[in-house]
Structure 1
Amino acid sequence: MRIMKKVTSSLMLIMSILATSTVFAQKINIGVNGAAALPMGDFGDLTTFGFGGDVSVDYYFNDKFDLGIEAGYRAFPYDNAFLDGEHMSLIPIQLTAAYHTDVADWIDLYGELGGGVFIASSSISGSESETYGGISPRVGAAFELSPEWFLDVNVNYNMVFSEETSNASFTPNFNWIGINVGILYTIMD
């Protein structure tokens, strides 16, 4: 619970900084997307294809560089007949930094790196949630639909640093490849 308090406090501080510094921003984008997730490695042995979504706020310092915050949810059903209907959930909360380049007037390509906390929990009765660090490099494209609206598509690899081994238990790294499709809205330009 103390970790959630720290995460919430950090998010509030970052949002306050972004909100009070809009005088200097070239633009701010708010995004919402749906996500498909393919678990990798040991995590892929335990779970099947996942789904979820994210919300984000990006603060552009210029046409090439932005910083943002992103929070999401992923659900991965267990790949086990005895755990039918049960799933593993991950909640990523990340700070992001992106570099953008325009390839046409209506297409913006970008590379982005996210890093932050990933809260893992299971729907199995008696299990507790755990918080881990992780990163999420990604590449994507934003297609201009109008001056304020963009279609956003990206591919990412999420690396959650969770592997622990002891005599009592083994926790796999929660890694997955994600494909996100969503909408960006410019609230200031």
Structure 2
Amino acid sequence: MKKVFLVLFVAFFAVAFTNAQSKMAASVQGTLSFPTGDFGDGAGTGFGASGTFVYSVSPMLDVTGSVGYIKWGTKESIPGYEVSFSDIPILVGLRYTFGKGQFLPYGAAEVGLHMLSSSVKGDLFGFTVDESSTETKFGIAPGFGFLYKFNPKTALDVNAKYNMIFTEGSSTTHLSVNVGVLFGL
């Protein structure tokens, strides 16, 4: 399933990008992530980065594709152990921009796959623990943000997304705040 999704994602953007190069843009962003719900009970603030490709369908509607990496530690340290969580989101979505001019607020929605990993390493009472697990889950991410245009090809891109990852038993959720620069291609 992952391979099919990846092939469709690459094929869609390859066709879209070759047909209208002036309608493309890319953004590189730093990420600060705040775990919420059950996930927030154990995970601390996360840090990461993401890249987003944007294809303008109309002056106010964009198709987006993004890939990122976020890593969290634990809220409380466990003596002798190192515990961490990470997420590699691969998402596609839509972004609708309100208004025209230099300051452009927008609403967005994305769907896709999250490659989740957790790791526990340490020594306690002579026993060494080195366990890790990885799983891929589906998720959605509604959000909002704004573009502040420096010139026609460059803009500051600031947004917040509420990531809901559908894991067993409950959703793994976190609020991501992203700040970066969008470049026209």
Contact conserved, 2:39 with 2:173, CA < 8 A, in 1?
yes
CA distance in 1, matches of 2:102, 2:82: 43
| Alignment-derived partner of residue 167 in structure 1 | none
| Alignment-derived partner of residue 85 in structure 2 | 88
Alignment of structure 1 residues 70-89 onto 2, 5 Å:
70-82=66-78, 84-89=81-86
Q: For 2:117, what is the secondary structure of its paired residue?
A: strand
Backbone CA RMSD of aligned residues: 1.8
CA distance in 1, matches of 2:161, 2:86: 18
What TM-score comes out, normalization by structure 1 length?
Answer: 0.85
> Which amino acid in 2 is paired with 1:52?
G
- Bigger shift: residues 133-142 or 84-93: 84-93
| Alignment-derived partner of residue 44 in structure 1 | 40
What residue ranges of structure 2 are gaps of 5+ in the alignment?
121-129
Shift of 1:7: 4.0
Contact conserved, 1:78 with 1:84, CA < 8 A, in 2?
no
Shift of 1:79: 2.6
| Alignment-derived partner of residue 144 in structure 2 | 139
CA distance in 1, matches of 2:18, 2:23: 13
Which of 79, 95, 98 aligns to 2:95? It is 98
Contact conserved, 1:90 with 1:118, CA < 8 A, in 2?
yes
What TM-score comes out, normalization by structure 2 length?
Answer: 0.87
Shift of 1:84: 4.7
Contact conserved, 2:157 with 2:179, CA < 8 A, in 1?
yes
> Which amino acid in 1 is paired with 2:149?
E
Deviations 1:102-136 (A, max 9, x none): 25x21111100000011100133332211111110
| Alignment-derived partner of residue 168 in structure 1 | none
> Which amino acid in 1 is paired with 2:164?
M
Alignment of structure 1 residues 142-157 onto 2, 5 Å:
142-157=147-162
Which of 171, 178, 182 aligns to 1:173? It is 171
> Which amino acid in 1 is paired with 2:165?
V
Q: For 2:17, what is the secondary structure of its paired residue?
A: helix
Shift of 1:68: 1.5
Which of 57, 60, 66 aligns to 1:61? It is 57
CA distance in 1, matches of 2:81, 2:32: 20
Alignment of structure 1 residues 2-17 onto 2, 5 Å:
3=2, 5-17=3-15
Shift of 1:86: 2.7
CA distance in 2, matches of 1:84, 1:56: 35
Alignment of structure 1 residues 98-137 onto 2, 5 Å:
98-102=95-99, 105-124=101-120, 125-137=130-142
Q: For 1:74, what is the secondary structure of its paired residue?
A: strand
Identity %: 29
Whether 2:182 is the aligned partner of 1:184: answer yes
What residue ranges of structure 1 are gaps of 5+ in the alignment?
165-171
| Alignment-derived partner of residue 126 in structure 2 | none
Shift of 1:15: 2.3
CA distance in 2, matches of 1:183, 1:68: 15
CA distance in 1, matches of 2:87, 2:105: 27
